[in-house]
Chains A and B, each alone.
Chain A
Amino acid sequence: EIVMTQSPATLSVSPGERATLSCRASQSVSSNLAWYQQKPGQAPRLLIFGASTRATGIPARFSGSGSGTEFTLTISSLQSEDFAVYYCQQYNRWPRTFGQGTKVEIK
């Protein structure tokens, strides 16, 4: 199975600052990469699919990039509601696998 590795495990950012999260795949997943946001006590929410396409209703401050094995999720100006855990997931091959998550916390 494809192993997804996210870094860093925790990212401390001040409100209004930019956050950059990384995700690496153990083999190429083309652009078949999604990002999810999960807040405490809530279900995950789809943010990005196809590596760079925002899901319906997702603000433009969220952007995704990359292809192959290296991917990035950027939050251009962190709002209070953005502090959460973010997971990447590859859906290029079965089984679909997730990264271990990056927690974005208030600095």
Chain B
Amino acid sequence: EVQLVESGGGLVQPGGSLRFSCAASGFTFSNYWMSWVRQAPGKGLEWVANIKQDASEKYYVDSVKGRFTISRDNAKNSLYLEMDSLRAEDTAVYYCVRDWHHYDTLTRQYYYYMDVWGKGTTVTVSS
């Protein structure tokens, strides 16, 4: 069974740091781009960051650039998100997500959607 299990969320003070992880199983982790998506309380979904299979490419939403770092360890089938300089607006459930794609022969590009989601881990930034 394909599974993503997040761990490491919690309560942290504004300006603090937190690192959490996602354990992948049931598929060849090293073959996939991976993402983090968050959802603030009572709000919609926001893509946060993603990382290529070999970690050679990483992308972030503007609001977290310079504060968050996505990484992975393919030997451990694990994805990570390190968050620094946390703000109240970073309070959310953070989901670990597997990216899959289809290839458009017309544009000769890959297009990535999110096909498997973890249950999420909660981060609360509050004093």
Contact = CB atoms under 8 A, between A and B. Distances in A.
Interface of A: 30, 32, 34, 36, 42-46, 49-50, 55, 87, 89, 91-92, 94-101
Interface of B: 44-47, 59, 61, 95, 102, 104, 111-120
A43 B119 contact: yes
Task: State the main secondary structure of chain A at its contact with B.
Answer: loop
B44 A89 contact: no
B91 to A, nearest CB: 17
Given A91-B111, A91-B112, A94-B59, A43 B44 contact: no
A18 B118 CA distance: 30
A41 B119 CA distance: 9
Given A44-B117, A89-B114, A91-B113, A50 B102 contact: yes
A49 B111 CA distance: 10
